[in-house]
Amino acid sequence: MKKINLILLFFILTTLGFSQQILLKNLRFNGNPPQMVIDVEGNIKPKYNINYDEQNRYLFVEFLNTKASSELKNKTINGSYVKSVKIRKYSNSTGVFIFFKNNINYSASYWSNPTRFVLNFDKNKAKKEYTIVVDAGHGGKDPGATGFNKYHEKDIALRITRYLKTSLEKDFNVIMTRNNDSFISLSNRPKTGNKAKADFFVSVHLNANSSSQGSGADVFYFSRTESDYAKKVAIFENSVGSKFGENVDDITLIMGQLFYNKNKEISAKIAQDLINSYSKRLKMRNRGAHGANFAVLRGFDGPGILVEAGFITNSSDISKLKQSRYQKLAAEEIAKAIKRHFY
Ligand SMILES: [Zn+2]
C-alpha cells in the first residue's frame, strides 16, 4: 500500500507542479511585417493568456509552466511601434509586457520548426468618423489680395491648407476644394462639402488693408447679423463672385432656423477657441472672432469658419506667413482647434 501511495503521489506532483518547465529562450523583433518572436526550446507549445490594455497601450502575455532564460530579460526597443518590453518571472509562469507607442491591432500564434511564439501587430486603423472640408481661398485667375512684396493671398492660403490637410488627416477624412492654383467659384466650394455630407468647413484667407498698419488674425463664422468691421471683410471676400460673373446672392442659406442657431453656436465656439490659441502660438495680434455673412460659409450645410490668417499687407505678418515654418504652425493650430471640438 505504501509503495502504491508513493507512486500515486509521484504522478500527482509531476503533473501538478514538478513537471519540467519549458524554457523561453530568446525574444526578438522583426520590422517587416512588425512582429515580436519568442523562441521556445523543444517542441512543446506552452499555453498562454493574452490581454491588451487599450487605455495604457500595453499587451500582457502570460506563458504558463515556463521559465525565462537569462537572454529573455528586460529590453528597450526604439522601434516605431514598441516603447519597451518588461519580463516578469512568476513561480510557474513568465509574464511579458509589451508597451506600445500607439494603439495597435494584434494577432498571436505558435509557429513550428523551430517552435516559436509569434505576435503580429499593426497600427490600429480606426475608422475616421468625421469629414472636414478644407478650402483655400481664391485661386487661378483670382489672386485674392496682393500685398507686401507682391505676395498673393491665393498662394499662401493654398500652402497653409496643404499643411492643414496633413495635420487633419490623422483624425479626419479631408476634402480639399482645391489643391492647386485653380479657380473655383464661391458657390462650388460649399457644394463639394454638401455632396460629401461633410461635418465641418474651414476656409483659409489672408486679410488686407489699404494701410500697412493693419495686422493680426481673425476667425469668422457665419451670422446673419454682423459688425461693421466683419461686414467690410465679408464684402471683400464675397466680391470675388461679382468680379468673376457670379451672383453670390444666389448662394442661399440652406439650413433651417434650428440648424442655423446650432451651427452658429458651434462655429462661434470653435472660432473663439482658435483665435486665442492661434494668436498666442504665432505671436500675432488677436483681432477676435466675428460673425459675418460670408457667401462661402452660407452655402455649407453645417458649421464652419473662415480664418484670416494674418495681413498680407503687413510686413510683420507676412514675414511670418511666407515661411513654411509658420504656415505649418498656422495649420497645426487650426487642426487642433477643430479636433478639440470633435474629440
Ligand atoms: Zn480672401
pLDDT computed for residue 182 by the predictor: 96
Above 60 in pLDDT, residue 251?
yes
Above 80 in pLDDT, residue 80?
no
Non-local CB neighbours of 199 within 8 Å, separated by 6+ positions: 130, 131, 132, 302, 303, 342
The Cα–Cα gap between 278 and 162 comes to 17
pLDDT computed for residue 4 by the predictor: 60
Above 70 in pLDDT, residue 12?
no
pLDDT tens-digit map of 226-238: 999 999 999 999 9
8 or 318, which is more confident?
Answer: 318
CATH code linked to domain 131-342: 3.40.630.40
Say how many Å lie between the CA of residue 204 and the centre of ligand 1.
8
The average confidence (pLDDT) of the chain is 90
Kindly state the helix (H) or strand (E) to which residue 279 belongs, with its residue range.
helix 257-281
What SS3 state is found at 253?
coil
CB 164 within 8 A of CB 338: no
What SS3 state is found at 103?
coil
Say how many Å lie between the CA of residue 288 and the centre of ligand 1.
17
Say how many Å lie between the CA of residue 49 and the centre of ligand 1.
59
* Residue with grid cell 522601434, as numbered in its chain: 79
Say how many Å lie between the CA of residue 143 and the centre of ligand 1.
9
Say how many Å lie between the CA of residue 214 and the centre of ligand 1.
15
Mean pLDDT, range 174-202, rounded to an integer: 95
Say how many Å lie between the CA of residue 326 and the centre of ligand 1.
19
Say how many Å lie between the CA of residue 341 and the centre of ligand 1.
25
Say how many Å lie between the CA of residue 179 and the centre of ligand 1.
16
Say how many Å lie between the CA of residue 82 and the centre of ligand 1.
45
The model carries a pTM of 0.66
**18-123 and 131-342: identical CATH topology:** no
User: What single string gives the DSSP state of each residue in 122-175?
Assistant: EE--PPP--EEEEEE--BTTB---B-GGG-BHHHHHHHHHHHHHHHHHTTSEEE
Say how many Å lie between the CA of residue 198 and the centre of ligand 1.
22
Above 90 in pLDDT, residue 125?
no
| Helix locations, 152-252, DSSP H | 153-169, 188-195, 228-243
> How is residue 16 annotated by DSSP?
I
Say how many Å lie between the CA of residue 137 and the centre of ligand 1.
5
Say how many Å lie between the CA of residue 195 and the centre of ligand 1.
23
What SS3 state is found at 11?
helix
**Residue extents of the structural domains in the chain:** 18-123, 131-342
Tell me the fold of 18-123: Immunoglobulin-like (2.60.40)
pLDDT tens-digit map of 277-293: 999 999 999 999 999 99
Mean pLDDT, range 116-129, rounded to an integer: 80
Above 60 in pLDDT, residue 13?
no
Say how many Å lie between the CA of residue 216 and the centre of ligand 1.
15
pLDDT computed for residue 11 by the predictor: 55
